[in-house]
Amino acid sequence: MSADGLVEVGPAEEFDDGDHALVEVGRAEVGVIKAEGEFYALRNQCPHDGGPVCKGNVQRELVGEFTGTGERIDQHYSDNCIVSCPWHGWSFELETGKHIGDDRIRVPTYDVVVEDGVVYVDGGD
């Protein structure tokens, strides 16, 4: 980690949407994920069973609204991007780290900085 707390991940141009890279930030393994042109960083440890959550599928969140008895649920994809742990499917918001079904469960998130075409994770000082 550099003196300013930034951990280099790599050139931004080498990331396509859905790509991830793993780096060590302090004693934690952190996954940096690019989704819809934005970079996100989360601890690569699912709170359910310790799975490599950042290696999972990245997509928009499917949400549904119940409109009444006998009616179909209105389903659509939100603007919210999620990652789903490849071990058991637990899904988390990329931006906040919140579990999509229970916001009391979270994966820690980190700030991402892109400077001069290079992606960094802000690991603090």
Enumerate the domain spans of the chain: 14-108
pLDDT category at 64 given cuts 50, 70, 90 is confident
CB neighbourhood size of 63 (10 A): 13
pLDDT at 11: 97
Q: What is the CA radius of gyration of the chain?
A: 16
Average pLDDT (92-103) is 94
Q: How far apart are CA 84 and CA 93, in angstroms?
A: 9
Q: Which residues contact 19 (CB under 8 A, 6 or more apart)?
A: 33, 34
Q: How confident is the model at residue 62 (pLDDT cuts 50, 70, 90)?
A: confident
Number of other residues whose CB lies within 10 A of the CB of residue 106? 16
- Cβ–Cβ < 8 Å for 32, 39: yes
Instruction: Tell me: pLDDT of 17 over 80.
Output: yes
Provide the whole-model pTM: 0.85
| Contact indicator for 74, 67 with CB cutoff of 8 Å | yes
What CATH class has 14-108? mainly beta
Residues 6+ apart with CB under 8 A from 77: 59, 60, 61, 62, 63
What does the pLDDT average to over 102-108? 95
CA 11, distance to chain mean position in Å, is 19
- Residue 33 · residue 43 · CB < 8 Å: no
Q: Average pLDDT over the chain, rounded to whole?
A: 90
Q: What is the structure's pLDDT at 27?
A: 92
- Please determine, for residue 3, whether its predicted confidence score (pLDDT) is greater than 50: no
Share of the chain above pLDDT 90, in %: 73
